[in-house]
Structure 1
Amino acid sequence: MPEPDIDALVFDVLGTLVDEPAGIRAGIRALDPPPDGPGTERLLELWRRHVDREQRRILDGERPYRASDTIDLEAARLVAGAAGAPAAAEELALSARTPPPWPDAAAGLARLAEHFPLIGLSNASRTALLEINARAGLRWHLALSAEDARTYKPDPAVYRLAVDASGRPPERLLMVAAHAWDLRAAQRLGLRTAYVARPVGDPPAPSDRFDLHADGLADLADRLGGARVPPG
């Protein structure tokens, strides 16, 4: 598929630019006593199930909006309790803010920023997103949190934050993510889409039709080589 004509890039953060599970896994391994390998993965899955369930309840109107900090603390309390270390819950919750960046993240963003405005768009709270960006060395022209829409992706209201901030029609924006569900939601609002493969992502289904598929940010930059920010 030819490279789309675009004016700005909109990036998912968790999973796409940082290894979210790795940060939480490190927090779980730091518990005293530390769980064994299989135990760590079971606790990580407990955390992820809670976050997914509670965000879905908010999206379905079954629960008032709560920022990611609250939901992460709830998940940390579940995990710390299951691990026999309930007093460590608050410290464990902070591990959601310390995911390591993928090796190509900082350099890839810097390269793309030479040609496009970059917008980060994350389900992480404003506070969490600030710390994630700072720790991972992510540089944006603008970083937006779903907290500003008081909902979570894939609610269209979150993607509208980027559209409204850019001042451009949605078809002039390229949503970049490692999660097919994220790209499908952006696509429904009219954004162009680029899937970037990551080990922790959600791969496209055979029926998905995204504008670009890339192995990483260097590959994405190569594929966008002919698409430049228009003058003015």
Structure 2
Amino acid sequence: MIRGIEAVVFDVLGTLVDEPGGLRTAIHEAVPGDDLLPVWQRHIEHEQQRIAQGDRPYANTDVIDAEAAQRVADHAGLTDPAAIARLATAGHRLPPWPDSAAGLEHLARRFPVLGLSNASRTALLHLNAHAGLRWHQALSSEAVQAYKPAPEVYRLAMDTTGCPPERILMVAAHAWDLRAAQTTGMRTAYVHRPTGDPPASTDTFDAHFTDLPALATALTTR
């Protein structure tokens, strides 16, 4: 059981929706054949790192995803503008993990529930509609012109909830995300996902869960 929590903040990409699986499906629809997901992922990682290092002005995920889609298209010889444009918005149509919608709904009856994501405001709006996610508010790192794990992204959640960090539980399937949240004083819970970043033996998160129902039980059992 985790006590003393007043708000629950969820990472979205990878934690509530299957980002790699959704992107891989969209790429295969546009370009059947080779697995080109690594081409996409390398571009996203590289450009977000450039922004974090000050080598590129901030650009939201809609911009960077469009660049990644063009990279994939160039790699595969895809020239259909409509197909490339649809691929560029693949991040708006990512499938939820099977327990995401029900787990969020359960928690939202007891706590303010927020999404905190590197995805753009527009992407979060469409993800919410597509995946049926129920949160009270979705926060995009676009609001602070930065990407997680920058500390200002986590402070955005603290400012929005109005809670002290030790009363906020950050939930993610990525250990790097939780480590960054810890540095701001937030409580942390790791939830296992097949494509996540598992904790190292040196990590000291407040709790580890196999799925969202287990997390919801731990938070709502009195």
TM-score normalised by L of structure 2: 0.96
Deviation, structure 1 residue 225: 2.7
State the match for 1:15 in structure 2.
14
| Residue among 93, 98, 115 paired with 2:88 | 93
Question: Aligned partners of 2:193 and 2:139: how far apart in 1?
Answer: 22
Question: Aligned partners of 1:192 and 1:142: how far apart in 2?
Answer: 19
- AA partner of residue 92 (structure 1): L
Question: Aligned partners of 1:69 and 1:4: how far apart in 2?
Answer: 38
Q: Could you list the runs of 5+ residues in structure 1 that have no partner in the other structure?
A: 228-232
Question: Aligned partners of 1:28 and 1:136: how far apart in 2?
Answer: 19
Check conservation: 1:178, 1:201, Cα contact below 8 A: yes
Deviations 1:175-217 (A, max 9, x none): 0000000000000000000000001100000000000100010
Deviations 1:13-49 (A, max 9, x none): 00000001111111111125x11xxx12xx1011011
Check conservation: 1:126, 1:144, Cα contact below 8 A: yes
Deviations 1:105-159 (A, max 9, x none): 0000001111111011000000011001110000111110000010100000101
| Residue among 53, 60, 68 paired with 1:67 | 60
Alignment of 1:1-232 (within 5 A): 3-32=2-31, 34-35=32-33, 39-40=34-35, 43-87=36-80, 88-226=83-221
Question: Aligned partners of 2:99 and 2:123: how far apart in 1?
Answer: 21
SS in 2 for 1:81: helix
State the percentage of identical aligned residues: 59
SS in 1 for 2:30: coil
Check conservation: 1:123, 1:145, Cα contact below 8 A: yes
- AA partner of residue 9 (structure 2): V
SS in 1 for 2:220: coil
Check conservation: 2:30, 2:84, Cα contact below 8 A: no
State the match for 1:230 in structure 2.
none
Q: Could you list the runs of 5+ residues in structure 2 that have no partner in the other structure?
A: none
